[in-house]
Amino acid sequence: MGKVSLKALALAVVTVAFGAGSASAVDIKVGFLPGVVDPFYQVMETGVNAAAEDLGIEVVTQIPPTWGVEAQTPILDAMIARGDLDYIIIAPVEKDQMVAPLQAAVDAGIKIITVDTFLGDGDYVDGPITFPIAYIGSDNVEGGRIAARGLAEAIGGEGKVYINSTNPNVSSVEGREQGFAEVMAEEYPDITVLGPDYNLDDQARAAQQTSAMLETNPDLAGVFGTNVFSAGGAGNAVVNAGLGGEVQVVAYDATQEAIELMGDGVVSLVLAQKPFDMGYMAVQFAAADARGVTSLPRRVETGFAIIDTENVDDPEYSRFIYQVQ
Amino acid sequence: MTDVPAVTPGLPPAKRFVLLASRLWAWVFLGALVLFFVVAVPAVSGATFLSVRNFQNILVAIVPVLLLGLGQTFVIISAGIDLSVGWVMSLCSVVSAHAIRASFNAGAPLPLAVTLGLVATIATGATVGFVNGTIISRLKVPAFIVTLGSSFIVRGTGLLLSENTTVIGLPSGMRDYGNESMFYWVRGEGGGFYFLQRPDVSGDLLRSMDRILAWPVVMTAVVVLLCMFLLHKTQFGRHTYAIGGSLQAALRTGIPVERHITKVYMLSSITAGIAGFLSTLRFNAGSAVIGDPLLLSSIAAVIIGGVSLFGGAGSVIGTVIGSLIIAVLTTGLVMLNVQAFWQFIVVGIVVIVAVLIDQSRDLIVGRVGRSER
Amino acid sequence: MSDPILSIRNLVKRFGGLVAVDHVDLDVHPGEVVALLGDNGAGKSTLIKCVSGVHLADEGEILFEGKPRRFPRPIDARREGIETIYQDLALANNLDVPANIFLGRELKHRYLGGLVKTLDEKSMRREAAAGLEALDIQFPTLTQPIESLSGGQRQAVAIARAIYWNARLMIMDEPTNNLGVPEQHKVLELIGKLRGQGVPVILITHTLPDVFAIADRIVVMHRGRKVTEKRTTETDAAELVQYMVGALDDTRAA
């Protein structure tokens, strides 16, 4: 903190001395390290870059080619080793395993903001992990709840629903499963939740698991795919069982692929997060912190939009579809 | 007769039984597995395991692992290894998606666009395999290293060519190629058996409709038959066994070993590429990551099927059985509501057992040779 | 005596400064078994590798069936009917007898004007059986991988293969090595049978009993030079050993 404040002070001095530049500009360098190359994070990157330009901040972005601790950690270590970064905006790919590598960053004097995913339980005030400045992302539990309500409406409030997910112990998808199951248990007593099955990011496996599930439960009414892959695979199995449109499939994340799947009748509802907002806000937070603002909230939820076939062409909703150039 | 006398009139019955068991155990294991699920699934969930639909689901599920395993069967029989297959599948998924989209948007009719996608797939696979095989056979770099290196290159290329890992915007009618079937069977009132034509039914009839032999399954079956023919009926197959069994013998008898090994790796990349092409058809999108998790499963299928890692032994049908075992496990465990991760544990055990059986067979045969001296 | 089928004239092969084969002359006549004796490093393997196309000689010439020949590659020598059976036999142990006999030269059915070719297993099996028959070799079954055969049987398969492909000169490198005594006898019998069919054999060995059992003529090499050449009936083991260790040397005496 002290170091950055000094820098901010120094900048202020410089600014005064030369009588130039915006009073709010801060001289910080921010690293951005999302989870994996995918449309969601790429939209987030456009948010980061937009904020960086607006605020005159230099950003260094590195995107891991694959999802996983073993892919993200070396890049993080390299970012720490550069020695010139003041903040790192990161989407930790694992809520427990990434704690130690990020603690090393903190020890090196770098401040951490987590986006999309969090460390520990995401409560940076009273939880086990408190070193990050803030978590900015969707409340994935809330997202799960919203998906549950959307699916419950679509199936008329009763029947069996099935969760197909990617990997266990990832804060984002775990929250979605949790919120989903919670709402179904509390608000829809006539709905039974099956799963989750983990497809390990293999779309064909998601399809196979869903096919098997349809075999044991021919009366299945809905499927919740906790990401596009899961939903795409699950929806494929549903359509091939001749149940397209009868078994409702909810996809988390409004990628263009998901929207296309909806157009093809494979997916019935798409839950959009707001990655652009996450990225933009994270940079704003870094700048504010550098300027010495101490009243920043430690947790910010950016909200959701539910897109269905009815509203998909409405600009109010379609703007949340992840558009990447 | 002043002959070299007749030896090995036959192995002792016990050893003969062990040899027979070593060839057939994968079939027996598959049978036992199916039997187990046939009994257990109804007991646990009340569903039927051996339904027409479930059988078709399993056939669809084995497609990618089996296609990766088919080429790998040739490679391992020739005493090599191809670590790049999963990523070649991903790359070809992306390339075929581009080819289909571009040609369709340029006005080609859908069947032609899909055909061009297949052509692009085979060309891409052949190119990767040619480079792999040439470096392995002519520059004498171990296959493990070459294909490890090329898998990174192929993976990077696939990601670069994709648009944020996926290629979308493909003609929507393409989905039919990857998901519709050769036969349809609708049971009950107003139902029937349909060939090539999907019946226009809805509601309960649609629910009861079985799709028999989805197009990806048909295409895979064609590739399986071609591979069986190639391995067991042609000089190409004979030379593949010879190179894996004794490289020296192959060289001394004038087999064009270098050219042959190059062809084997081309075959491996092409079958992997076809897996990518079929996944593009099935999911209506090219994915630069679709094959990433499949390498180890495909090698496991090959080993379970009785292909010796030391080269020189194995069969195509064995690889089919190996793939079936893996797919039956996944489907069966989900139907038992058992965490699917158990699949890995069972597959792991089966792989090790397969290798042990392979080795003990060598031991038995070796003993025969020694004892007759 | 008939004309020699193989004539080696003044052959020299150098590896850097080392003269592995030093001006060697050697004739082999039809229906004759010539034993090539010598200690390790005497140059006998290098000499025959020049004949079988593994090495190219630096000086001198090789006449095969009266004509000067150069064999840049082993396949060139084999095309002329010079078959070499190395100790490893060049057999694929995972394949059966017919597959080995026809390895690299498989018989094929042709379909669609030669576009599709399949293995003609039946003909290969028939031909293999006939080839073995001609050498009085009998196996109970031909369709088992030869890994289940004994060493002597494998040797027989290798010989049968060479004969089938019309060997006009057979070079055998230590054929009785690693075999049990009964099998050694059988291999020697087979060599005798080759001689009976008029196929000359060059036998590389350092097993003296083999030499006296089968060879017609004996050539001893020492340090790259041919130190003597004798008819088997004109010498004995003790004398040969003297030549092999360099204690006797006809070229020096001359």
- Taking CB atoms and an 8 Å cutoff, what residues of chain C touch B373? 150-151, 179-180, 183
What is the band of A11 on the pLDDT scale with cuts at 50, 70, 90?
very low
What pLDDT is recorded for position A4? 37
Please tell me which of the candidates C75, C91, C136 has its beta carbon nearest to residue B246: C91
CA distances C126 to A35, B319, C142, C193, Å, are 66, 32, 10, 22
What is the structure's pLDDT at B354?
86
Q: Does the distance separating the beta carbons of A198 and B341 come in below 8 Å? A: yes
Across the interface, whether the CB atoms of B61 and A207 are under 8 A apart is answered: yes
Taking 80 as the threshold, does the pLDDT of residue A269 lie above it? yes
What is the reported pLDDT for A24? 52
pLDDT of residue B11: 62
Q: How far apart are the first and last CA of chain B?
A: 20
Range picked from A6-15, B265-274, C143-152 for highest mean pLDDT: B265-274
Share of chain A above pLDDT 70, in %: 92
Pick from C82, C76, C78, C75: nearest CA to C28:
C82
SS3 content of chain C, % helix, strand, coil (to 5): 35, 30, 35
DSSP state, C27? E
Q: What is the pLDDT of residues B20-76, one digit of tens each?
A: 777 788 899 999 999 999 999 999 888 888 888 889 989 998 999 999 999 999 999
d(CA C129, CA C140): 11
- Does A245 reach chain B within 8 Å, measured CB to CB? no
- B100-106, long-range: CB < 8 A, 24+ apart: B100/B170, B100/B171, B100/B174, B100/B280, B101/B167, B101/B169, B101/B170, B101/B171, B104/B170, B104/B171
Count Cα neighbours of B55 within 13 Å in the Cβ-side half-sphere: 9
Chain C closest CA to B241's CA: distance in Å? 7
pLDDT at A242 over 90: no
Residue that wins the pLDDT comparison between B12 and B171 = B171
Contact A79, A85 (CB under 8 A): yes
- The residues pairing with C69 across neighbouring beta strands, listed in sequence order, are C62
Residue C104 with chain B: CB contacts under 8 Å: 239, 242, 250, 253-255
Q: Once rounded to an integer, what is the mean pLDDT over residues C55-78?
A: 89
Number of cross-chain residue pairs from A and B with Cβ atoms under 8 Å apart: 123
Can you tell me the mean pLDDT for C210-217? 91
Yes or no: say if C125 and C142 are a contact pair by the CB < 8 Å rule: yes
Quick one: angle between helices B52-77 and B257-283, nearest 10?
A: 160
pLDDT band for position B4 (cuts 50, 70, 90): very low
Q: What percent of chain B has pLDDT over 90?
A: 55
- Cβ distance B172 to A213 less than 8 Å, yes or no, reads no
pLDDT at position B257, please? 95
Whole-number pLDDT of residue A10: 35
Asked whether C60 and C10 are in contact (CB, 8 A), the reply is: yes
d(CA B365, CA B367): 5
Q: With 90 as the cut, is the pLDDT of residue B242 above it?
A: yes
CA pair distance A162, B285, nearest whole angstrom: 24
Degrees to nearest 5, angle at CA C93 with C91 and C98: 70
- A264–B331: do the CB atoms touch at under 8 Å? no
**pLDDT > 70 fraction of chain B, expressed in percent and rounded:** 93
Residue B81's pLDDT is: 97
pLDDT tens across B275-326, in order? Answer: 999 999 988 889 888 888 899 999 999 999 989 888 999 999 999 999 999 9
Span A276-324, pLDDT tens digits: 999 999 999 999 999 998 888 999 999 998 899 899 999 888 889 988 7
Q: Is C59 helix (H, G, I), strand (E, B) or coil?
A: strand
CB atoms C94 and B246 under 8 Å: yes
**Is the per-residue pLDDT at A149 higher than 90?**
yes
Is residue B154 very low, low, confident or very high in pLDDT (cuts 50, 70, 90)? very high
Which residues have C-beta within 8 Å of that of residue C78, sequence separation ≥ 6?
B254, C53, C165
Chains C and A touch (3+ CB pairs under 8 A): no
| Cis bond upstream, residue A196 (ω within 30) | yes
Give residue-wise pLDDT tens across range B92-104.
Answer: 999 999 999 999 9
Q: Which of A37, A202, A215 sits opposite B165 (nearest CB)?
A: A37
Q: Looking at the complex, does the CB of residue B76 fall below 8 Å from at least one CB of chain C? A: no
Return the pLDDT at B335: 85
Q: Which of C239, C245, C201 is nearest to C221 (CA)?
A: C245
A257: nearest CB among B285, B327, B334: B285
Give yes or no for A70 touching B (CB within 8 A): no
| Residue type (1 letter), B303 | I
d(CA A324, CA A251): 19
Asked if the model's pLDDT at residue A89 lies above 50, the reply is yes
- Residue B250 structure tokens: 């192959």
Burial of B280 (0-12, 13-18, 19+ CB in 10 A): buried
- Put simply, whether B10 touches C (Cβ < 8 Å) is yes
- All residues of chain B having their beta carbon less than 8 Å from the beta carbon of residue A42 are 164
Q: Which of B1, B249, B253 sits opposite C138 (nearest CB)?
A: B1
- In degrees rounded to 5, what are phi and psi of residue C222? -145, 125
C79's tokens:
């095309």
Alpha-carbon distance of C7 to A257, in angstroms, equals: 78
Q: What was the pLDDT predicted at A275?
A: 93
Comparing A41-45, A124-128, C1-5, the range with the smallest average pLDDT is: C1-5
The residue type of A267 is: V
Please report which confidence band the pLDDT of residue B9 belongs to, taking 50, 70 and 90 as the band edges. Answer: very low
- CB neighbour list of residue B146: distance below 8 Å, 6 or more residues apart: B132, B135, B136
Q: Is residue B198 within 8 angstroms of chain C, CB to CB?
A: no
B-chain residues near C82 (CB < 8 A): none
Structure tokens belonging to residue C73? 């590659």
pLDDT value of residue A91 = 95
pLDDT value at C148 more than 70: yes
The per-residue pLDDT for A207 is 93
Among the ranges given (A250-254, B124-128, B165-169), the one the predictor scored with the smallest mean pLDDT: B165-169
Give chains near B: 3+ CB pairs under 8 A: A, C
Lowest mean pLDDT among A81-95, A123-137, A150-164, C151-165: C151-165
Tell me the pLDDT of chain C averaged across its residues.
89
Mean pLDDT, to the nearest integer, of C127-146?
85
Asked if A197 is an interface residue toward chain B (Cβ–Cβ < 8 A), one would say yes
Residue of B nearest to C132 (CA): B3
Q: Would you state the pLDDT for residue B136?
A: 97
- Average predicted confidence (pLDDT) for chain B: 88
Token duo for residue B284:
């209506």
Tokens of A105: 């960053």
Find the closest chain B residue to A230 by CA distance. Answer: B283
Return the structure tokens found at B355: 């290798």
Tell me if B330 and A212 make a contact (CB, 8 A cut-off): yes
B212/B215 Cα distance (integer angstroms) = 9
- What is the C-alpha end-to-end distance of chain A, expressed in Å? 37
Q: Taking CB atoms and an 8 Å limit, are C78 and B254 in contact across chains?
A: yes
The residue with greater pLDDT, B111 or C251, is B111
- Reduce the DSSP state of residue A21 to 3 states and report it: coil
**Tens-place pLDDT, residues A189-207:** 999 999 899 998 888 899 9
CA–CA separation, B205 and C168 (whole Å)? 77
B165 contacts chain A (CB < 8 A)? yes
pLDDT of residue B365: 60
Site from B166, B175, B177, B336 to mutate, A interface, most A CB atoms within 10 angstroms: B166
Cβ–Cβ gap A211/B214 under 8 Å: no
Q: What are the strands, taking DSSP E only, across B242-292?
A: 286-287
pLDDT greater than 80 at residue B190: no
Both tokens of A212, joined, read: 């098997």
A221 has pLDDT over 90: yes
B338 in contact with A, Cβ within 8 Å? no
d(CA A113, CA A100): 15
What is the share, in percent, of chain C residues with pLDDT greater than 70?
Answer: 99
Whole-structure pTM value: 0.82
Paired tokens of A62 = 């590195």
